[in-house]
Structure 1
Amino acid sequence: MHSSFTRLQNVFGFFTTVAFVLGAFIAATDLGSARTPSGVIKTDNIQVVKGRPHYYSSKKEEYAIIRFSLEADLSSLFTWNTKQLFVYVTADWTSPGGINNTAVIWDSIITNPSADHLQNIGPVAMKKLKRSAEGKSIAPERGLLKLKNQKPKYQITHPSGKIAETADVTLKLHYNVQPWVGILTWDMDKPLAMWNAMSGGVSDLFTLPALKSKDTKGKDTKDKSSTKSKKSKKP
């Protein structure tokens, strides 16, 4: 006769096996959903200044501020098993020594309607989310992004403290699908079954401008003010 403890172990083992098989089946259903993400990204305004990029910075250094426009269709990444989508934009360039550099300048989390309660947002925004999600288990329109002259969340710096006039920089759109059950999947470089690689999502090459110092700004302001005063003195 098996003891009560042995029977409890058998029941628990059977339960975990069933849960694992069910979870694997749920995760496998994502392979049957086509993924066709696409995007167009371009720069709008680029500045390089010298200062403290963060309040906790101990010294002044050069940092770049890149404004961009983005139109992306990530709606195919939302399925019934999608919990939320993490979207971010990076600036990529290669240093003279052949070192690849990647810096995140903007990110955002897009939740599925069933996961809206996980959003750490205010009550007004939460009401709008709930209103848009009424009667829906999947909201593909949440995967449509249209940003114009978007201000970056993070500035670009470099360990050397210098980043001005860096050449061959590109902006890239990335995503990370976080399912309810299964593994995290990142943006893919090559297609896999019904999952296609990102179409577009890369900007043209550009060069960061020369350093824009505060002295230059002050001189420009003085020149403009002196010009205005001269015009006002004319009869």
Structure 2
Amino acid sequence: MYTSIVRLQNTFGFFTTVAFLIAGLIAATDLLAPRTPSGFLKTTNLQVVKGRPHYYSTKKEEYASIKFNLEADLSSLFTWNTKQVFVYVTAEWGGDGHDATTSAANVTNQAVIWDSIITAPSSDHLGNYGPATLKKLRKSAAGKSIDASRGILSLKNQRPKYQITHPSGKIAETNNVRLRLHYNVQPWVGFLTWNQYSRDFGLWKTLSGGVSASRTLPPVKKADDKKKSAS
């Protein structure tokens, strides 16, 4: 005879197995939804100054600020299983940054300069939004389980959230600096997936575009230059 505890354990094990099976099937449905993300990035302004890039910096160092234009269509990333999409832009440069022959494929330096979290309508309440923004999001997504329009990004002369620094303390006149668009899809059920650059995976296509032209960072902006630009 089975005891009540053994029967309870068997019942719990059965429902756990069923729950994991259903979760696996839900996660697998993502593979049936095509992903065709695309993006266009262009740097609009580059500046290098010397100072304390953060309030907690202990010494002055060179840091760069890069403004950019971003046009992206990430609407195909939003499905009924999408909780939110994390979008970010990085600045990349190779080697020591001063070798003009450095191959773009051998990138060794990468720094995030801007990021944003785009929630799906069903997870707006989980986002770090103020009351006014949350009310606006809910109004725009009323009656929608999926709001693909949130994946359309259009930023003009966007200021970076984060400055670029280097352990050496010097970053001025760095060569072959380019911007790259990245995304991370966070589903309700399943694995986190990142942007694809190397090859297609079934219906999931590589990110089209999303890389800016290479630029060289300017020399350090001096105090005289700041006065001239302000006048």
The reply to whether TM is greater than 0.5 is yes
Structure-2 residue corresponding to 1:20: 20
Structure-1 residue corresponding to 2:103: none
Change (3 A) 1:95 1:109: same
Structure-1 residue corresponding to 2:130: 122
Counterpart of 2:65, as a letter, is: I
SS at match of 1:125: helix
Unaligned runs of 5+ in 2: 98-105
Deviations 1:46-71 (A, max 9, x none): 00000000000000000000000000
Deviations 1:79-101 (A, max 9, x none): 00000000000000012387700
Answer yes or no: is 1:166 the counterpart of 2:198: no
Quote the offset at 1:12 in angstroms. 1.1
Deviations 1:167-226 (A, max 9, x none): 0011000000000000000001211000000000000010000111225435x489x7xx
SS at match of 1:203: coil
Structure-1 residue corresponding to 2:56: 56
Instruction: Within 5 Å, give how 1:50-199 maps onto structure 2.
Output: 50-96=50-96, 100-189=108-197, 190-199=199-208
Deviations 1:6-47 (A, max 9, x none): 111111111110010000000000000000000000001100
Output the TM-score relative to the length of structure 2.
0.93
Q: Which among 208, 214, 221 is matched to residue 217 of structure 2?
A: 208
Larger Rg: 1
Unaligned runs of 5+ in 1: 225-235
CA distance in 2 between partners of 1:74 and 1:102 (Å): 22
Superposed CA RMSD: 1.5
The aligned length equals 222
Counterpart of 2:140, as a letter, is: S
Counterpart of 2:109, as a letter, is: N
Deviations 1:134-181 (A, max 9, x none): 010000100000000000000000000000000001100000000000
SS at match of 1:114: helix
Change (3 A) 1:30 1:99: closer
CA distance in 1 between partners of 2:226 and 2:11 (Å): 74
